[in-house]
Amino acid sequence: MAQLLDGASKLGWVLLKAVLRFVFMFFNNCVAIPSYCLYLLLLQPLRIWDSYTFWHIEGVMFKWLLGMVSSWGWIAGYTVTEWGDDVRPISEEAAMVIVNHQSTGDVCTLMMCLQDKGTVVQKMMWLMDHVFKYTNFGLVSLIHGDFFIRQGKAHRDKQLIYLKDHLDKYYYNRDRKWIVLFPEGGFLRKRRETSQLFAKKHSLPHLTHVTLPRLGATHVILKTLSAQQENGSLGCETRTTNQTANKHKGLQWVIDVTIAYPKARPMDIQTWIFGYRPPTVTHVHYRMYPIKDVPVEAEALTDWLYQRFVEKEKLLTYFYDKEVFSRHFLQKWSSFTVQLIKDSSL
């Protein structure tokens, strides 16, 4: 009886805490998001006169909003341990960030990780599923210039055209640096079976902790933002002479990010909001590649991208066994070569 009462007491406390957190976050959003929109509305004359300064101010406020989301995790005891290469020295350089995708909590985890990486958060661009457009944060992302992509074969070709147009219009003129995407094209639990069937059919590696990545968005980003775009003439927003002189050099890095959750239990956005899971440490591994080492042609890029996700599989397999990431273990697999059979449907 005592145990039953104790369990009921703990459950009651969890439910009360979840309700209090939800109420706090609801009012938090009701104040913060309209304030962000109102300030930007009032600053529209500045956008016409000096768009560079306008987007700098917008980026600062965007970082504050992402910091607000990160704080929800900190309050609940959800923290992050970082492994691998130190990405802070390249925080002001243009980079494409490729991340494995397990749940909606991946975005929150990245928001938390990148807060202390200089101006990365305020100058970054996200590629996310179009359903996020209809969430409470969708309007903010829309204003910031993130790209919402529709999944599925019926939309794939058009979406890649829209992505290129979006990059041409917003990336340089808003002084974006890091662009974040999830090449798997969906959550692990939803894509794993299809990916494994595809791999079996084409004699590709059998992956459990990640899925085979899709080439489309990665290829478009590399071709659109590579060094040949250095003239900085993309887009049509007004710039001052000094700002035009400060031209982009194009992408300089690809940052491979691997997110690992204890016991392979991903955290979703509901967990971040309600905080019903005990304090948890999420592990994030970084590996940097100079852009000169990344092929741009479709066939070679497919090989390169597949190999990155095979390495992620090995990293995660080791992590779930030892609960640590191992640089020595990764180096052991750095020369691993995968013989691939290409298929345009992936």
The residues spanned by each domain of the chain are 1-231+248-344
Task: Select the CATH number that applies to the domain covering 1-231+248-344 from these four: 3.30.300, 2.60.40, 3.90.550, 3.40.1130.
Answer: 3.40.1130
- What is the distance of C-alpha 291 from the center of its chain? 19
Give every CB contact of residue 25 below 8 A, 6+ residues apart in sequence. Answer: 72, 273
Q: Give the global pTM.
A: 0.84
Residue 5 exposure: Cα atoms within 13 Å on the Cβ side: 2
**Residue 335 confidence (pLDDT):** 36
Do 62 and 119 contact (CB within 8 A), yes or no? Answer: no
- Give dist(CA 156, CA 216) in Å, integer: 8
State the 10-residue block means of pLDDT for the chain, 346 residues long. Answer: 61 77 86 93 94 94 91 88 92 94 89 90 89 80 90 77 92 93 88 87 89 90 73 38 52 94 88 87 94 91 93 92 71 40 38
The predicted structure's pLDDT at residue 25: 85
Which amino acid type is present at position 310? V
Residue 3, pLDDT score: 59
CA distance 21 to 238: 43
pLDDT at 190: 87
Rounded Cα gap, residues 166 and 169, in angstroms: 5
Task: Find out whether 172 and 153 touch, Cβ atoms under 8 Å.
Answer: no
3-state secondary structure 115-153: HHCCCCCCCCEEEEEHHHHHCCCHHHHHHHCCEEECCCH
